[in-house]
Structure 1
Amino acid sequence: MRFVSSRPVLFLAASALALSLAAPSLAQQAPEPAPETPAEAPAGQDAEPNGDPVPHIIIADEPETPEEPEVAPIPAVWAPIPLDAHRNSAFGLYLAGRNALTSGESAVGADYLSRVYALTPEQPRVREQAFTAALLAGDLDEAGRIAPTDPEVSPVIVQAGRLVQAVQAYAGGDARRADALLMDAPVGEPHDRAGFYVQGWIAAAAKDWDRALALPPADFDPVSAMVARANRARLLEQRRRYDEADAEWRDLTSHAITGALFRQPYGEFLERRGRRDDALVQYDAAITAGTADRRVIQGRERVLAKGRPPALPSFRQGAAQALRTAADQMIAQRAHEFGVVYLRLAQNLDPNDNTQLLIGQTLIQGGIEPAGRAALAEVSEASPALYAAARIQTAISLGKAGRDEEALVELRRAAAARPDEAGVAYMLAGQLMQMERHEAALELLNGPLLNTADQGFEVHFLRGAAYESLDRDTEAEAELWAALQMQPDNPTLLNYLGYLWVDTGTRVQEGAAMIARAHAAEPKDGNIQDSLGWAQYRQGQYEAAVVNLEGAVDKEPANAEINDHLGDAYWAVGRQREAGFQWNRVLTLEVDDKRRGEVEAKLRDRLGQDPTGDKGLGSAGGAAD
């Protein structure tokens, strides 16, 4: 069977947090809340590298933190059932919230659960779910307000609440209160890394330099300890203790395995100290080690051009970067939901499109696709590269959901933002092929971005598939052959060209040999096994064909073409009743008009049947055994 790989499926991980939010919970009657008692909140200052305060635009005074309302014990019997002002019951709101969360509508679910918590504050489980829902939805103020403290709540959630409350206090301009929160109740596992990374920046903003420059805990793993020391090096530079900062960076870059990760920030430090030649050494070393990213390349170009050194991050920017690093570590451990929490906190401190893109990608990785797409929609057009990446990620997500037209719109937006980017044009062509718009795909594939002297095998392959779909077999063969010369052992290419030769009868034996090689490389692929069985059928090896085609149907039971092939093979070995079963089965599957007509003709002409379309369960009336 010929096949073009469908859209990439990049993000299939499930979100444990989203599942926990959907778990059942019992709510009970809420008492009247006690009056809120305002508490005085001191103001904190952020600082730039020179120690001067960073001005903040204050629209209104920070809301004073209310005391927790006194909560009555959970009553044995509800009388009456709690209702909100619109006569919605706590039960109904809770079920609506659960349904929204399981559908991936994080913001809607968070709103419902917040309303349930307002009716039933005595319920620790409801409070926990309202808190986690608010986190995933990005409502950090609400999450900080209702962060659980009950001993019955999972410590993982309680520690997340401590982190959120401290960071949100700092984001609101109260560095001293944030520092005091972290001092009084340090953030514990599994959020201890994030808590320690951000603690230094918050303490520095609060002018608590002893805590800001504290060494990492002895029980930190080696990588986390190095990350913490990199933060410390930046803070030493903030404190103008340049020799100590340089010593930290020199030690961090001296490690054989991890040292290359710190060459870029060390290079920037050296630029700020006027040591351009030394900075160039660091950038070149990163390139040699293969760890160079865009920032390293830009740093090297900046040094050679004698450009202005990059500014030292402010305390808020440093705290945001620390949280992004902690998010990277969580995501690497597949804890996507906590990675999202850290990224949202970072975005609240230092809003930018790069972090917003990461939020959307991480939500999708965690299986919360609607929320991920909503986050990606907030990436602005300020950076064409980031905007295009967000549109592509959204298109992939929509494609997985079968929303091809919407995916196509997103890819067209990406192409408009990056009109000279060949990779975007290739993805757009692939989407058009997926939607069987082969002529439109060919326009792109034959255009100046993709039809180049150095085009990759993927472009040749996709162009060949487009030609084959339009019955332009000679051109298809030339493109597929060109692709195969570049990737001679690629199972997909071997199968596709081999099947073309077998199916058209042009080079049956050579095509069959290529398919056999593909099957040996990918024995679990049902499409390739179908090609092998069909090649055997075309060579008159009917019994062998039946064995392989049965195996292919087992692997791809909903594939109409494979079921049709098996019907033909059954007919060839005299198993007419089973052939009729397979052909009737084809009519119940997703099948194009041409194949449907061919199968209906087989049923009428060979078996004397009216096509049943009965999912393959009808009798083969008139069949001769």
Structure 2
Amino acid sequence: MNIDRFRLALLSFVAVGALAGAAVAQDPPPVDPAAAVDPDPGVAIDPVDPDPVDEEADGPTEPEVVPIPAVWAPVPTDADGRSAYGLYLAGRLAQSRGLGQVGADYYAAVEALTPEQPSVRLQTFTAALLAGDLDLAARLRPSGEGVPPVIGEAGRLVVVVQSLVHNDPAAGLAELRRAPIGQPHARAGLYVQPWVAAAAGDWDRALGQPSPTGTDPTSLFLRHSHALLLENHREYVAADAAFATLTASPLGAQLFRRSYAEYLERRGRRAEALAVYDAAISGGATDPTVALGRARLMARGRAPAAPTLRGGAADVLTIAAIQASTEGGAEVAAVYLRLALSLEPTDLTRLRLGQALAAAGREVDARDALAAIAPSDPGLYAQARMELGRSFQRDDDAEAALAEFRHAADAVPDEAEVAYILASQLIQLNRYDEALAVLNGPLLNTAAQPFEVRFVRGVAYESLDRVDEAEAELWAALQARPDDATVLNYLGYLWVDSGKRVSQGADMIARAHEAEPENGNIQDSLGWAQYRQGQYETAVATLEEAVAKEPANAEINDHLGDAYWQVGRQREAGFQWERVLTLDPDAAQRTEVERKLAEGLAPAVPVSGTEA
């Protein structure tokens, strides 16, 4: 069977992270507000009223924009003789190739040559923001008429956050006093405002009471910040009350019991902290850090430190990023995570940034973020390497993906999911013996091994012509999932193609086709089953449809050529076989197709193998 069939079958399992329950997963473990997204952020919460606008405090008005000339005379060039036009085109090319930082550098060079050009300024700002050059983004923040809010308000948010980075929170607070951050970044602005105010020493504004009973997600996250800021300001009685009411609602309990327990640990109230941890666990908490926190408490470990003001701002920006990502705003999420990283650089934030950039299609930038994650935390490092491997898979760089999966497996040698992904990638590269060494190892070859492991092991055995062992594994997989279209098709095709159980295999393929009628590979199996049973005219029609669905599949085109030959359409058969040679067949298939082009086919003998 052609390796393309193996790969397509494997991808249906590999892509979803097949081994449920493994400790290494795509999403990092801390509090995940993804399930707590309100579709209209900011509506339920009235931000602290801004101070009256002081016209004189607004600063100088924006200088008049000079329009782009029809013809540069002379064309601006830098010290190396590079023209603004050339630099701009280089920036666009770099951006199109996913080289975000390189593109940002080129755009910055153009902006330096043509500072009066609003379109260049806008593109340079956007590129710098996504690449993480936040000082440049703050300096170039576009404003004024014609600037879309998604850019203009992002610029204001950058200025506010960078004021914390550069220990000048008063400047950020002044920006917020002029006006709150507007849509579409209003939620992030609401989240960060109290932390900036606290850093600037304006505790009245920082502790301005949010909606005390709001249970929408935005309200809950603001109330959580309020509780932490009360602790920071040493208003412990008020902090106790804030945490207690925050965790009284079902969603508040789900999101913030761990934080409440950590607060109680810091206050030395260990028995109360234990009760909160136990309530979270009995309530079905899925956050693994809840169990870790309880274990730390029982071992009399040190309580986690309260967030600093900068750290708190970074945390709420991360929450805004996760919510934006859940809503489909991957690039917005990346911007918020860049801001969070500038406030408090952590590997967990780098992991989330890499995920957001990858979701936005910025693979090179994603890899840069992920590659910066240190191996000091093996679990986090392994997650980063898994993400890197998936990124290389998306770029069809199988060897690079394999190298990353090996790094992950070395970091967490006891993780079954990582071992499974590694074995699957080895099969993608036709390294079947190496794959079987992993699949038959103690992590995966267990009494309770899941369907996916059985299936992949069957693929490896079949690829090595160890057909009896392949049948045993695929049959075991089928018993686990009797209606799974992939294994029905795979085992059915094996039996049809080998002639061992043609009728039974054909019935299984028909069931698979009924479940997934638009799957061209399953339709090919159906047509080949018809061919093997001598139903040549029917096979031609079925295989023509399969080719229409998968026109670049060498095996399906080859099968259609064989079917054409058997119904007397030799010229069309030759055309299909010639086409196979253009579709990168493996060496064995190329040799066989060249033989058929030279000699044709002998009359086929229908088979109806039915051995038990």
| TM-superposition CA deviations, 1:514-535 (whole Å, max 9, x none) | 1111111111111111111111
Q: Which structure 2 residues correspond to residues 414-453 of structure 1 after superposition, within 5 A? A: 414-453=408-447
Task: Say which is worse superposed, 87-96 or 539-548, in terms of deviation.
Answer: 539-548
C-alpha separation in 1, matches of 2:106 and 2:435: 45
Q: Which amino acid aligns with 1:500?
A: L
Q: Which amino acid aligns with 2:435?
A: A
Question: Structure 1 residue 578: deviation in Å?
Answer: 2.1
Say if 2:325 is the partner of 1:331.
yes
Say if 2:298 is the partner of 1:295.
no
1:373 aligns with one of 361, 367, 375: 367
Where does residue 103 of structure 1 map in the other structure?
A: 97
Question: Structure 1 residue 283: deviation in Å?
Answer: 2.6
Question: Structure 1 residue 10: deviation in Å?
Answer: 7.5
| TM-superposition CA deviations, 1:136-163 (whole Å, max 9, x none) | 1111111111111232211211110111
C-alpha separation in 1, matches of 2:352 and 2:461: 38
Question: Structure 1 residue 68: deviation in Å?
Answer: 9.9
Where does residue 525 of structure 1 map in the other structure?
A: 519
Question: Structure 1 residue 256: deviation in Å?
Answer: 3.3
Where does residue 31 of structure 1 map in the other structure?
A: none
Question: Structure 1 residue 101: deviation in Å?
Answer: 0.6
C-alpha separation in 2, matches of 1:387 and 1:546: 51
C-alpha separation in 1, matches of 2:250 and 2:346: 33
Provide the aligned length of Structure 1 versus Structure 2: 553
Where does residue 491 of structure 2 map in the other structure?
A: 497
Q: Which amino acid aligns with 2:158?
A: V
Where does residue 223 of structure 2 map in the other structure?
A: 229
1:533–1:546 contact (8 Å) kept in structure 2: yes
Q: Which amino acid aligns with 2:182?
A: G
Where does residue 248 of structure 2 map in the other structure?
A: 254
Q: Which amino acid aligns with 2:6?
A: F
Q: Which amino acid aligns with 2:227?
A: A
Q: Which structure 2 residues correspond to residues 470-489 of structure 1 after superposition, within 5 A? A: 470-489=464-483
Q: Describe the SS at the equivalent of 1:3.
A: helix
Distance 1:76 1:307, change over 3 A: closer
Distance 1:217 1:160, change over 3 A: farther
Q: Which structure 2 residues correspond to residues 276-315 of structure 1 after superposition, within 5 A? A: 276-315=270-309
Q: Which structure 2 residues correspond to residues 132-211 of structure 1 after superposition, within 5 A? A: 132-211=126-205
C-alpha separation in 2, matches of 1:286 and 1:493: 40
C-alpha separation in 2, matches of 1:589 and 1:247: 69
Task: Say which is worse superposed, 192-201 or 571-580, in terms of deviation.
Answer: 571-580
1:260–1:285 contact (8 Å) kept in structure 2: no
C-alpha separation in 2, matches of 1:72 and 1:541: 75
C-alpha separation in 1, matches of 2:63 and 2:80: 25
C-alpha separation in 1, matches of 2:593 and 2:545: 21
Q: Which structure 2 residues correspond to residues 598-609 of structure 1 after superposition, within 5 A? A: 598-606=592-600
1:125–1:153 contact (8 Å) kept in structure 2: no
Question: Structure 1 residue 70: deviation in Å?
Answer: 5.8
Q: TM-score, normalising length from structure 2?
A: 0.86
1:73 aligns with one of 66, 76, 80: 66
1:498–1:510 contact (8 Å) kept in structure 2: yes
Question: Structure 1 residue 197: deviation in Å?
Answer: 0.8
C-alpha separation in 2, matches of 1:437 and 1:120: 55
Q: Which structure 2 residues correspond to residues 50-61 of structure 1 after superposition, within 5 A? A: none
Task: Say which is worse superposed, 268-277 or 296-305, in terms of deviation.
Answer: 268-277
Where does residue 47 of structure 2 map in the other structure?
A: none
1:197–1:228 contact (8 Å) kept in structure 2: yes
2:488–2:512 contact (8 Å) kept in structure 1: yes
Where does residue 3 of structure 1 map in the other structure?
A: 6
Distance 1:480 1:299, change over 3 A: same
Say if 2:238 is the partner of 1:244.
yes
C-alpha separation in 1, matches of 2:126 and 2:407: 33
2:65–2:117 contact (8 Å) kept in structure 1: no
C-alpha separation in 1, matches of 2:527 and 2:267: 70
Question: Structure 1 residue 194: deviation in Å?
Answer: 0.9
C-alpha separation in 2, matches of 1:206 and 1:487: 60
Question: Structure 1 residue 460: deviation in Å?
Answer: 1.3
C-alpha separation in 2, matches of 1:543 and 1:410: 48
Where does residue 576 of structure 1 map in the other structure?
A: 570
Distance 1:273 1:444, change over 3 A: same
Task: Say which is worse superposed, 66-75 or 484-493, in terms of deviation.
Answer: 66-75
Q: TM-score, normalising length from structure 1?
A: 0.84
Q: Which amino acid aligns with 1:486?
A: A
Q: Describe the SS at the equivalent of 2:600.
A: helix
Q: Which runs of 5+ in 2 are unaligned?
A: 18-58, 603-612
Alpha-carbon RMSD: 2.3
Question: Structure 1 residue 453: deviation in Å?
Answer: 2.2
Question: Structure 1 residue 69: deviation in Å?
Answer: 9.7
Question: Structure 1 residue 217: deviation in Å?
Answer: 7.8
C-alpha separation in 1, matches of 2:566 and 2:272: 77
Q: Which runs of 5+ in 1 are unaligned?
A: 12-65, 609-625
Where does residue 29 of structure 2 map in the other structure?
A: none
Where does residue 455 of structure 1 map in the other structure?
A: 449
C-alpha separation in 1, matches of 2:401 and 2:518: 30
Q: Describe the SS at the equivalent of 1:190.
A: coil
| TM-superposition CA deviations, 1:555-582 (whole Å, max 9, x none) | 1111111111111222222222222221
1:320–1:347 contact (8 Å) kept in structure 2: yes
